[in-house]
Amino acid sequence: MKKLVLAASVVLLAACASPQKEQINFAPTAATSAAKIVEGKSMSISSQDVRTAQYVALLDNGRANITPVHARQNVRIEIENALVNQFSAEGYQVTVNSKNTLKVEIQEALVSVKHTVMENDMNATVILELTAENSKGKLVKTYTGTAKRSGLMSASNEEIETVLNDTVNLVLKEIANDTELQDYMKERF
């Protein structure tokens, strides 16, 4: 019995001492407006992450070594929360059960990083699909954000975080400034 406890302790300590996979902070910021667009309209927001893989960055050092990097936070939940804040600031009451629904589908959120000791190139792509729907109809729109950044030395996690968060924030601003979506929701919600 003592040997079993000792073996279990060694395995547990070895697992704690093993290196942790790299992770970055994912913190999108809602594009809030100073003036309310609507008053007293309710809606519910749901989201789905349909990405084929859950990492948010791929690091390629050029030596046949590609490393995935994950976000510390859940990408789907963070984007949904940012949109809840964004639409609440516009005057919508976000509730659980509403006839008016906004579905968010995360199709891509990825930063591809090619780096060497001397330089790095980052390409970010974020694709969100929004479906505004109720008994009066349905509007489906796709929003895409891309960014490219180059720098000296290897890319740090902070630089990757900045590129990813900035790209998501650009997509959120595009959603906030989309007059077709605003008009559709004002008329039908």
Measure the CA–CA gap between 120 and 112, rounded to whole angstroms. Answer: 10
Residues in the chain: 189
The 3-state secondary structure of 42-66, one letter per residue: EEEEEEEECCCCCCCEEEECCCCCE
As a whole number, mean pLDDT of residues 12-39 equals 72
Give the CA dihedral 113, 116, 118, 120, nearest 10 degrees. Answer: -10
Q: Please say whether the beta carbons of 71 and 56 come within 8 A.
A: yes
Instruction: Give the pLDDT score at 140.
Output: 97
As a whole number, mean pLDDT of residues 70-88 equals 95
Domain 25-188, second-level architecture: 3-Layer(aba) Sandwich (3.40)
User: Given pLDDT bands bounded at 50, 70 and 90, which one contains residue 7?
Assistant: low
Whole-prediction pTM value? 0.84
Every domain of the chain and the residues it spans: 25-188
